[in-house]
């Protein structure tokens, strides 16, 4: 009976992890569908703060123009829907969910980690996307000397490197937090272990 009960508990723990993966996959699928046709107005919740951060970092002045996005005419640069970084946000949410799967063993724990993953993915998207766009502006202005290199190709590669680095950092952070939480959970007080052990022996004997 004890082994069957333990197997059932293990299956329940894995069930929450699988449920979390299903939620993450659904969020990514819905997000991609939403992003495909979203306008600058509909993406203001992420484009507006990104434009403010880019203005602060680059020294520019991005102003909203309806139907276009956030424009800095002096720099001849537009932060349009394609610059929202939603694909990175969804990948970040998935990376954080995978990093925290081990702790998703209950409804409360799973919901808390998914909510934290969503919040952290949003914050990380603002930071990483700001860095990417600020670099792109520097490349566009010629602040960074590229010599004879193709600017469009460098811009594409720069985006890949920045986004990939951000995802790796997020996953490493998630694993570090998960490992610290696991270490804390294993540090059970001696008194608690002693009080549980006799019951376990009795269960096996019965």
Q: Are 88 and 166 in contact (CB under 8 A)?
A: yes
Q: Which two tokens stand for residue 173?
A: 């952070």
Q: Are 78 and 68 in contact (CB under 8 A)?
A: yes
Handedness of CA 93, 110, 113, 17 (dihedral sign): negative
Mean pLDDT over all residues of the chain? Answer: 81
pTM for this structure?
0.76
- Three-state DSSP at 89 gives helix
Helices (H), the chain: 2-37, 44-58, 86-99, 107-141, 151-186, 190-205
Residue 75: phi, psi to the nearest 5?
A: -90, -5
pLDDT in tens, 128-169: 999 999 988 888 776 665 555 666 677 678 788 899 999 999
Element (H, E) at 79: strand 77-79
The burial class, CB within 10 Å (0-12 / 13-18 / 19+), for 19 is: middle
Q: Rounded distance, CA 194 to CA 202, Å?
A: 13
Cα-based angle 127, 131, 132 (whole degrees, multiple of 5): 115
Q: Are 170 and 120 in contact (CB under 8 A)?
A: yes
Q: Report residue 11's pLDDT band, with 50, 70 and 90 as the boundaries.
A: low
Is 30 a residue whose pLDDT tops 80? Answer: yes
pLDDT in tens, 94-133: 999 988 888 888 899 899 999 999 999 999 999 999 999 9
Is 49 a residue whose pLDDT tops 90? Answer: yes
Comparing 41 with 184, the larger pLDDT belongs to 41
Is 37 a residue whose pLDDT tops 80? Answer: yes
The burial class, CB within 10 Å (0-12 / 13-18 / 19+), for 121 is: buried
Could you state, in order of their start, the residue ranges of all structural domains in the chain? 2-184
């Amino acid at each position: 009976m004890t082994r069957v009960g333990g197997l059932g508990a293990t299956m329940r723990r894995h069930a929450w992890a699988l449920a979390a993966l299903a939620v993450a996959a659904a969020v990514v699928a819905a997000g991609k569908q939403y992003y495909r046709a979203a306008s600058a107005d509909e993406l203001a919740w992420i484009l507006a703060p990104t434009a403010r951060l880019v203005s602060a970092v680059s020294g520019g002045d991005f102003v909203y123009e309806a139907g276009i996005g956030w424009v800095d005419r002096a720099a001849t640069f537009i932060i349009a829907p394609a610059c929202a970084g939603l694909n990175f946000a969804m990948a970040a949410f998935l990376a954080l969910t995978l990093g925290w799967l081990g702790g998703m063993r209950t409804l409360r724990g799973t919901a808390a980690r998914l909510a934290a993953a969503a919040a952290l993915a949003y914050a990380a998207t603002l930071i990483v996307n700001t860095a990417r766009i600020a670099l792109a502006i520097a490349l566009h202005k010629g602040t960074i000397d590229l010599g004879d290199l193709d600017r469009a190709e460098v811009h594409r590669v720069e985006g890949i490197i920045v986004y990939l680095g951000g995802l790796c950092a997020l996953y490493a952070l998630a694993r570090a937090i998960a490992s610290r939480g696991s270490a804390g959970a294993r540090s059970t007080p001696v008194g608690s272990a002693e009080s549980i052990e006799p019951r376990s022996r009795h269960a096996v004997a019965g």
